[in-house]
Amino acid sequence: MFSLCVAALPAFGAEVAGVKLEDRTNELVLNGAGLRTKVIFNVYVIGLYLPAKKTDAAAVLQLAGPKRVAIHMLRNVGAAQFSEALVEGIRDNHSEAESKILEPQVKELVATMAEIKQAKQGMTIALDWTGAATQLVIDGKPAGRPIAGEDFYRALLRIWLGETPVQEDLKRALLGQG
């Protein structure tokens, strides 16, 4: 009987800053997890879930199939500030022309975040690539409409895994190198 109870408990793949991340979500496996800091503040814990573990950023960006970026907020951040950080991360990893092409999708994501008003401490924000679109998921519930374009999801991934990541040690952690 005891073994049945243990088997029913979720398995944790990592613990970062007190946040436990499951080792699997649906058919995806936790590739890596890390802590986003800004100045002296812990902002969020992030986990990258992929169909199979990868340690190379280019391989992750080209990987087919569903993916998930799970962000666990450690402090309150206004929707505008959260959205601006995403937009800045996209701009930092794309040319002006590439950023311009992504503008319609970026505006959709920013509009959905504006409806939420705030990324609150304790909230989980997932950016899911379903294989057909990017779906924003707040605390397990879809928010906004799915956003078409795999190029947009890759642009989001580049915020953390691009040539100019938001935080270099976070990039290594998400790739299972840190």
Q: What is the pLDDT of residue 1?
A: 40
Q: What is the DSSP string of 14-79?
A: EEETTEEEESEETTEEEEEEEEEEETTEEEEEEEEEESS----HHHHHH--S-EEEEEEESS-EEH
Question: Which CATH class for the 12-174 domain?
Answer: alpha beta
Mean pLDDT estimate for the chain: 92
Domain segments of the chain as ranges: 12-174
pLDDT tens digits, 96-153 = 999 999 999 999 999 999 999 999 999 999 999 999 999 999 999 999 999 999 999 9
* Cβ-based neighbour number of residue 165 at 10 Å: 19
Q: What is the pLDDT of residue 4?
A: 39
CA distance 148 to 133: 4
User: Which two structure tokens, joined as six digits, stand for 171?
Assistant: 């990039």
Report the share of the chain in percent with pLDDT over 70.
Answer: 93
pTM: 0.91
